[in-house]
Amino acid sequence: MRRPVAVLVFLFAALALASAVSGCGEEEETEVVEGEPVEVGELEYNVGLTRFLNPDDNEDSEYLVGLPPPEPRTAYLGVFLTIENPTEDPLLSADAYTVHDTLDTAYETVDSESPYALEIGTEVPAEGEQPLPNSTAATGPNQGALLIFLLDESVSENRPLKLAVESSETSGEVVLDI
């Protein structure tokens, strides 16, 4: 009879130890899926929508202002996001955003003149967000600031795509739903 009690005591002790260890040293989530915020530094980045942009579409042409048509076998990818600053101090947003495929090909942002575009490294107001309320990007159809990437069409074969958000201190990734 003593053996089963000893086994139970051992199992409860092991469970208690495992619970204590799993709570210690918890790291922040540095990879999330689209629609969930990723914390990079003290800011929270949330990708609300990702989609390919069609220069011949009326809505998309506003996102692609000043950009040439994509070369054959390439396409523009739009990533719409919001950045929240829960702190009492204004903070600068990340200084680099790249999209990576499963072959680890990196695609850099394309400079944009669009009123929907996110200005990289922009200030995020204390207890505020980017895009700023009542701005074109915040009130637009996708309600987010826009990052544009020029991708090779073969990228569709190398999914999932991930958006890397990088600041001087830390980074995070969002698995894009495309």
Confidence of residue 176 (pLDDT cuts 50, 70, 90): very high
- The residue that leads in pLDDT, 2 or 64, is 64
Read off the pLDDT of each residue in 28-52 and give the average, rounded to a whole number. 94
Residue percentage of the chain with pLDDT more than 90: 80
Read off the pLDDT of each residue in 125-154 and give the average, rounded to a whole number. 96
- Is the preceding omega at residue 160 within 30 degrees of 0, hence cis? yes
- Is the preceding omega at residue 4 within 30 degrees of 0, hence cis? no
- Res. 80: pLDDT tops 50: yes
Q: How far is 155 from 144, CA to CA, in rounded Å?
A: 24
Does this model's pTM top 0.75? My answer is yes
Residue percentage of the chain with pLDDT more than 70: 84
Amino acid at position 140, single letter: G
For the segment(s) 28-175, the CATH number from 3.20.20.70, 2.60.40.1240, 1.10.1490.10, 3.40.250.10 is 2.60.40.1240
- Res. 12: pLDDT tops 60: no
Give the pLDDT of residue 20.
Answer: 43
Burial 22-41 (b: 16+ CB within 10 A, else e): eeeeeeeeeebebeebbbbb
